[in-house]
Structure 1
Amino acid sequence: MKKIEILSPAGSFEAMIAAVQNGADAVYLGGSEFSARAFAGNFGREELLKAIEYCHIRGVKVYLTVNTLVKEAEIEKFIEYVEFLYESDIDALILQDIGMASLVRRHWPDFEIHASTQMSAHSLEDVRLLESMGFSRVVLSRELSIEEISHISKNCGVEIEIFVHGALCICYSGQCLMSSMIGGRSGNRGRCAQPCRREYSLIRADGSKVNAKGSYLMSPQDVCTADEIARLAESGAVSLKIEGRMKRPEYVAVVTKIYKKALERHARGESILADRQYIKDLYSIFNRGFTKGYLFGKVNAQIINTLKPSNAGVYLGEVAYYDRQRKKLGIKLEDGLSKGDGLSLGVSVGRILTGRIIKDHAYAGESIEIDFIGEAADGEKIYKTSNASLLKSAGQSYENGIESVKIQLSARFEAMLGEYPKLTLTDSDGNKASAQGSKAAEKALKVSLSEQKVKEQLEKLGNTPYSINDFHMALEEGLSMPVSIINEMRREAVEQLNDMRAVRHRGRTSRGVSAIYEAGASGGKGLGKNSPKLRVKVRNAEQLKAVLGSTNFKDIEMIYYESIEELADAIEIASAAGARLVCSLPRIMRNWEYSGFKRLMGSGIADFQTGSLGQLRVACENGMTAHTDYSLNVFNSFSVNVLSGYGAKTVCLSPELRLDEISEIAERNEADAELEALAYGRVQLMISEYCPVGTLDGSCGESRKKAACKNDSTYLLEDQKGERFPVSKDGSCRSIIYNSKAVCMLDHLEEMHSSGVDVLRIDISLEEPKLAAEIVKAYASTIKNGYRLDAKALEVYASLKEQGITKGHYYRGVE
């Protein structure tokens, strides 16, 4: 069995030190470029080099996040940055962009790459495709259960990494466009504005609001699995990842130490529960409420915290009274309190008073007073949101150059009369550092040098990351030697050892940046040479009938059909009309759902719209025709080339791209696949295993009851600005949240086509059948009329504009 790794976050140099000094086996951090946590401290190039050296000397690996989507215009800069990282001795890159992953594998084949959780790998089939691309590790989606993780680990040839502690995303990572669409800050570009932590109301079809306890309807609790360390260790995952690159160093210190100790206890056959203080410390350092998450079967109300999106703290007690005149707050404590602790009332504790006695600490059961100016009601619950003593002890574990974790060395000291003494230090990796004394050993006139004295001097390694646990002496009796020479030898050997350990990957040489940038093409296929193709996405048979009944089927090249339950009827309807039907698969397909996919391939349909890498792999390996959806986050021509290489006939581009950025892709695209873009429809902003409808207005609070599902696609999430986002679901009862406005490019179709888009997609899956048919007819007639809107098309456009439409990112883009 491979050693299980504790992987800790490092959002700053100080946090990196905190992780290393508290037992992390590896750290993940972001550079100042291409990192998915653009608002973390991150590391400039000089600081990054120092961080790598610091970690490597101490036996800790460094994984660098280059896990954002890369635009065509940024590829040359990306290549230069990877070249720098390669030469810097980074142990592995964490990547999201499949195009950039293919580039790295091609030009730096010995550079280890890990698939970010932003790649949405949630099935064995996803992992197998990533393995075939050359990834050595895959970070699985947080939604998977421990059983699924075990199944994947046993049936693939890559390492598996899982998140075990910290913040949860309510949406599958890599599938969230909400921050991007409502505020222009793309989570896929490292700038997530955390819209899931904002306040919302859930609105029924009749306009009434669901009475929810709290207003943070999309804000999940933090995951905490320290007391499940045994099951985690036996899951087959080799890396247990702690979330938190935006957290303070003390947080990193506390959480790293606890998970490391838990893993060590498990290895010794002990239980983490032997010390409940560990779990209490996890609550104290930061929590939004804790859940064991999807890992251990928790769903809906068991993962959400509608009351507070930030640190919940630890329950301290209730307000006994508030004396405004004396400016004193009385509290009956149910937990300990210390001077300097932070409270949910927005204050830091100064004096603690019991009668006339002033003290720094008080204990559970005591009634105390604190100085207070503000607002507080009798009986109000108070929470301790920061623990001064815990923060202090956490800081002491890594501050002031302390070396808390020691590397064991073997030492050999040799000294013979008339010869120069020699010291050899050897570490467990086989590195050997040797130092020779500056003066030959002499015969002692009085007190001779003893082995004990040599040992004492060599053990003076306090300010280094080393300790000696194995001594070998070849010391001739009756010798004399200044202690200063032994000390010099020790220092020299340690410096040599540091130099050896600092470089883990010897032999890395420059690949030459100028020779690398090819962008997968030399001139592309030309822009807008042929008429654009029109494809329509519908959800059900009613929409399908309406569209085919009002539009010449020859004007529509293909129809993407979503409702798998009604697929047989849809095939019949389309066949009768002479239309080509494509089965639109759900974006998320877990391991057990692939059996249904394989049955579909024998149902008389040969075209599939694929929303995941695994679906693409299975479809093409079984001789089906695949058209990839925008959920695959294609941002550059390299990604187009990768998907085309796996068999995709159509590649839908990300809706986060501007038209000029699409042009840049098209100009360099020589792949066989056609380029598709959304010309009409509501963008799917989130897909989630959490159902706000069933949780807040149904009977699915602690389990998913598909038969009793109330999500009939009529509910809306309303934000504080009054924007309303439709809440729907897929065939497996996953929630899908759509944008409040539909993208409508009816009046800009010529620009879309001339930018290099081969296929214009009209998504009417949320529209009433009559309007759906009118929209499709308007688009078809506009294309036939040379992009001129006729009277009926203008009428449709005016109606849509009145309802509220958007141009999406086609003109504004994302940073």
Structure 2
Amino acid sequence: MSNANRKLELLAPAGSLEAATAAVEAGANAIYLGGKMFGARHYAPNFDDETLAGVVRYAHVRGVSVYITVNTLVDNSEIPALVSYLRFLYEIGVDAILVQDVGVASIAAKVVPHMPLHASTQMTIHNLAGVEFLAKQGFTRVVLAREVSLNDIKYICRHSPIEIETFVHGALCICYSGQCLMSSMIGGRSGNRGQCAQPCRLPYSLVGSEGELLKPEDAGEYLLSPKDLCTLDLLPQLIEAGVTSFKLEGRMKRPEYVAIAVDTYRQAIDRYLASPSTYSVLPNEVKDLAQSFNRGFTSAYLLKNEGPDMMSDRRPNNRGVHIGRVTGYDAQSRLAIIKLEAPLSVGDIIECWVKVGGRVNITVTSLMISGRDVEAAEAGNEVAIPVQSSVKLNDRVFKTFDIRLTTKARSFFAEGDGRRKIGVAVSVTAHKGQPLLVTFQDETGFCGQAVTAFITEAARNRPLDDTVVAKQVGRLGNTAFSLHSLTADIEPGVMVPVSEINDARRRAVEALEQARLEAFSRPPLPVKPAVLLPERSSDRKSRTRPELSVNVDTVEKAEVALQQGADIILFGGETYSHHPITTEDYRQVVAAARRCNKRVVLTTPRIVKEWQTPLLKKTLELFAELAPDSIGVTNIGTIEIAKQITNLPLVGDFPLNIFNVAAVNFYAEHGLVGMTLSPELTFTQIADLTDRVPVTLECLVHGRLPLMTSEHCIVGSRLGGRACGSCKATCEQRQYWLRDRKGERFPVVTDQFGRMHILNAKELSLLPHVAQFGRIGVNVLRIEAKAEEPKRLGHIVSLYRRLLELEAEPSNELLDQISSLEHENITRGHYFRGVLKD
């Protein structure tokens, strides 16, 4: 998008009314928030409809845009409520909605066609092709994945036809957003439904095949917990790269955090725009941000893959700011002596990191310097404070709550006059025999005017003068405005009651507010929306038994699967075998499938960064030459690229998060002839889908599902010396697992691109329920076998083949084989429990 047409936006989170006020008053150009439905922060306070409408009005009067998160996957049963909600958001003047689900986007395009659409980071858009695809679907903005580098951001911005938004501060996910199933599969709380339980912030151990602990001596146990993003020093590069919107994370954070983050980034952006050549980060800015909340700061992947330097492996929550060390402790008086390296005040909260016993939290109720009580002490002083628990010499001290900074932060959202004011020019005309005329005009030209019913008359005692007028029209404390200038045309000797002036001022302000609000107005909606949920029809269900597909990453596994009865082979994309897939591998798999008269789908990687795009194009050209039955696509960008290179049929994989009939129809309209449904659906939800759509639908039935996909590799980071792009490829030498607090072991594998995939500790198995898929009209059952050994894979495929061929109940012998294969470490996934929560 052209920089000449770009207006920079500082976008702030608002998880509560106080946070929304803090964001606006501190200088945000836009805020993003969620209602009570369909938002990706289910556990934030969020807003009911009435409060939401009030926030929109409050923000719009002050020239601030409001974006609403509608960025969860939506069930068919929720579509009527979604339609009503979208209409409500449109009617109250919301400026855009953020969406993850392409089904939601397609519904919004029909129900609220003039509502701008922003692609949430949950859509996992990480390349230009993905941006271009969404631009063609009417999206006006894309929030890029946090894994996109600064160079790629620059490239995407330079060529993008729509706005680009990127995160600049706040918490990071270790997994690509929208691709994480860990919370969902191990705890039933889906990140795709706004209910993430943050298992990435829990302790894990990296272990080998015998359960032995594998980590450097200085490593912590929070192996999946990243530091927080901070980009103050990179703002110039991001601005010059062409980013439109600079997004602060934090809808689950306190309003004080929002106030400090917005105020800091507002001042930094304005300082750069005013004088790019002299821009620098001020020392207090990083300190204030860290004091408000930090796990340590990182630039994440913007400049490079930082490896272990990106991780907060010793503490997954706020660590505060280091302010000194304990230099003495008197057990009798329970006084700790601390040598300060930063200021400390009464009312602050500190934490001593003791060598034995973890952390000691202390509220500073008094401070003494040389036996003298003080309210505050500066760096360099040695202070005595009362403590309830013993501390040790040289224990580090961190300030986790700063009373002075908190007081400053609360001033942004405290009840009162407000800090963000719009200057107005006021004119007052008072002529004898005429009404009083009061006009308010803001700096952008909007006007509000009021005329009194009272007719100006001759004064008996005190004639009206400029001083009285200025005092009364300047009483704007609880409004969005401040008096910038006053022009008074007052005929000498006239009188107007103060009450009339005040009433005219109030009505002029209301008229000006309304004029400013009308700038956000849109055309009215049609009375009756389109029908969006196709009728159910049992005729749509397949009357033939489901076919069996197997997803593999080696020629050997493909041949085994074909020999044991697979109907379809999926081959390609990521491989866990530590050997890149070659052209000859593709040729051999296609040939093997043809010999068996079976179908073959050549697949593409889940993640395709810009540097991989040329390789993807060459691979797709090879696929066009080999002519498989179809090509498997796993992200939106690959759909765009594949359609430019080949006319072969496309099938969509489960990372596309296909959850409802609208999503199925969306992808069908864009050329996908088959789709793998989300593994978060239940049998009941799937039956409702197959009743409504005529396309081929596939379900995952067996294997260790990938729960996380990450650019951060734990094995390389901890054991392979992976930093600044180097790695000893330790992952190729043995197998690794993450062990959680309950003793569950999650396989950790690395693909040919150096990305880490964490697989489920439990193996998905639907062997006892194969017949159910046929009864509800599923066309294809899929075995995920990239992490499987060939011999065991053959046994698994054989069992599914036999079950699919059954015309009667399975024999005892077959049931025994199923029982022997299904060890205790298996799961039925979400087919019976699902992720829908009240």
Please give the residue correspondences for 1:523-562 in structure 2 after superposition, counting only pairs within 5 Å: 523=537, 525-548=539-562, 550-552=563-565, 555-562=566-573
Aligned-partner SS, 2:731: coil
Change in 2 beyond 3 A, CA 1:602/1:794: same
Change in 2 beyond 3 A, CA 1:573/1:136: closer
CA distance in 1, matches of 2:96, 2:560: 53
Structure 1 contact 774–796 (Cα < 8 Å) conserved: no
Partner of 1:253: 259
Q: Is residue 2:596 matched to residue 1:589?
A: no
Aligned-partner SS, 2:419: coil
CA distance in 2, matches of 1:298, 1:541: 32
Please give the residue correspondences for 1:673-688 in structure 2 after superposition, counting only pairs within 5 Å: 673-688=695-710
CA distance in 2, matches of 1:468, 1:616: 55
Aligned-partner SS, 2:155: helix
Structure 2: stretches of 5+ with no match in the other structure = 352-359
Q: Which moved more, 1:173-182 or 1:395-404?
A: 395-404
Please give the residue correspondences for 1:657-806 in structure 2 after superposition, counting only pairs within 5 Å: 657-670=681-694, 673-700=695-722, 702-705=723-726, 708=729, 710=731, 714-786=735-807, 788-789=809-810, 793-794=814-815, 796-802=817-823, 804-806=825-827
Q: Is residue 2:388 matched to residue 1:373?
A: yes
Deviation of the 1:73 alpha carbon: 1.2
Q: Which moved more, 1:492-501 or 1:570-579?
A: 570-579
Structure 1, residues 29-71: CA drift from partner, whole Å, max 9, x if none? 1111111101101001111122112111111111111111001
Aligned-partner SS, 1:325: coil
Structure 1 contact 779–793 (Cα < 8 Å) conserved: no
Please tell me the residue identity of whatever aligns with 1:692: I
Partner of 2:376: 361
- Out of 571, 576, 584, the position equivalent to 2:587 is 571
Please tell me the residue identity of whatever aligns with 1:247: K
Structure 1 contact 92–112 (Cα < 8 Å) conserved: yes
CA distance in 2, matches of 1:707, 1:580: 39
CA distance in 2, matches of 1:789, 1:733: 44
Partner of 2:677: 653
Structure 1 contact 544–570 (Cα < 8 Å) conserved: no
Partner of 2:291: 284
CA distance in 1, matches of 2:732, 2:37: 41
Change in 2 beyond 3 A, CA 1:713/1:469: farther
Deviation of the 1:72 alpha carbon: 1.1
Aligned-partner SS, 2:781: strand
Q: Is residue 2:17 matched to residue 1:16?
A: no
Deviation of the 1:274 alpha carbon: 5.9
Q: Is residue 2:240 matched to residue 1:234?
A: yes
CA distance in 1, matches of 2:638, 2:626: 15
Partner of 1:624: 648
Please tell me the residue identity of whatever aligns with 1:409: V
Structure 1, residues 331-378: CA drift from partner, whole Å, max 9, x if none? 111111111111122221111123431222112121222111124232
Please give the residue correspondences for 1:179-328 in structure 2 after superposition, counting only pairs within 5 Å: 179-212=183-216, 213-269=219-275, 273=280, 275-328=282-335
Please tell me the residue identity of whatever aligns with 2:362: V
TM-score by length of 1: 0.95
CA distance in 1, matches of 2:658, 2:515: 41
Q: How much identity, in percent, do the aligned residues show?
A: 38
Deviation of the 1:629 alpha carbon: 0.9
Deviation of the 1:15 alpha carbon: 0.8
CA distance in 2, matches of 1:758, 1:429: 60
Structure 1, residues 228-261: CA drift from partner, whole Å, max 9, x if none? 2222222211111110011111111111011111
Aligned-partner SS, 1:775: helix
CA distance in 1, matches of 2:154, 2:476: 43
Partner of 2:664: 640
Deviation of the 1:389 alpha carbon: 0.7
Structure 1 contact 525–666 (Cα < 8 Å) conserved: no
Structure 2 contact 169–248 (Cα < 8 Å) conserved: yes
Partner of 1:612: 635
CA distance in 1, matches of 2:433, 2:659: 71
Cα root mean square deviation, aligned:
2.2
Structure 1 contact 699–708 (Cα < 8 Å) conserved: no
TM-score by length of 2: 0.92
Please give the residue correspondences for 1:409-488 in structure 2 after superposition, counting only pairs within 5 Å: 409-443=424-458, 449-451=464-466, 453-477=468-492, 479-488=494-503
CA distance in 2, matches of 1:605, 1:407: 65
Structure 1, residues 436-463: CA drift from partner, whole Å, max 9, x if none? 1343334567875444553443333222
Q: What number of residue pairs does the alignment pair up? A: 808
CA distance in 1, matches of 2:78, 2:138: 23
Deviation of the 1:789 alpha carbon: 4.3
Aligned-partner SS, 2:678: coil
Structure 1 contact 292–298 (Cα < 8 Å) conserved: no
Deviation of the 1:703 alpha carbon: 2.2
Structure 1, residues 302-350: CA drift from partner, whole Å, max 9, x if none? 2111000000111011222333322222211111111111112222111
CA distance in 2, matches of 1:414, 1:570: 84
Structure 1 contact 694–711 (Cα < 8 Å) conserved: no
Structure 1 contact 184–813 (Cα < 8 Å) conserved: yes
Q: Which moved more, 1:320-329 or 1:766-775?
A: 320-329
Please tell me the residue identity of whatever aligns with 2:585: D
Change in 2 beyond 3 A, CA 1:146/1:521: farther
Aligned-partner SS, 1:721: coil
- Out of 325, 334, 348, the position equivalent to 2:341 is 334
Partner of 1:29: 33
Structure 1, residues 674-716: CA drift from partner, whole Å, max 9, x if none? 101101111110000101000111110x223366453567111
Deviation of the 1:83 alpha carbon: 1.8
Change in 2 beyond 3 A, CA 1:803/1:485: closer
CA distance in 2, matches of 1:105, 1:469: 43
CA distance in 2, matches of 1:296, 1:461: 47
Change in 2 beyond 3 A, CA 1:573/1:161: closer
Structure 1, residues 116-146: CA drift from partner, whole Å, max 9, x if none? 1111111111111111111111111111112
Please tell me the residue identity of whatever aligns with 1:221: K
Deviation of the 1:219 alpha carbon: 0.1
Structure 1, residues 145-165: CA drift from partner, whole Å, max 9, x if none? 122112112212211111100
Structure 1, residues 645-668: CA drift from partner, whole Å, max 9, x if none? 111121110001111111111111
CA distance in 2, matches of 1:786, 1:609: 32
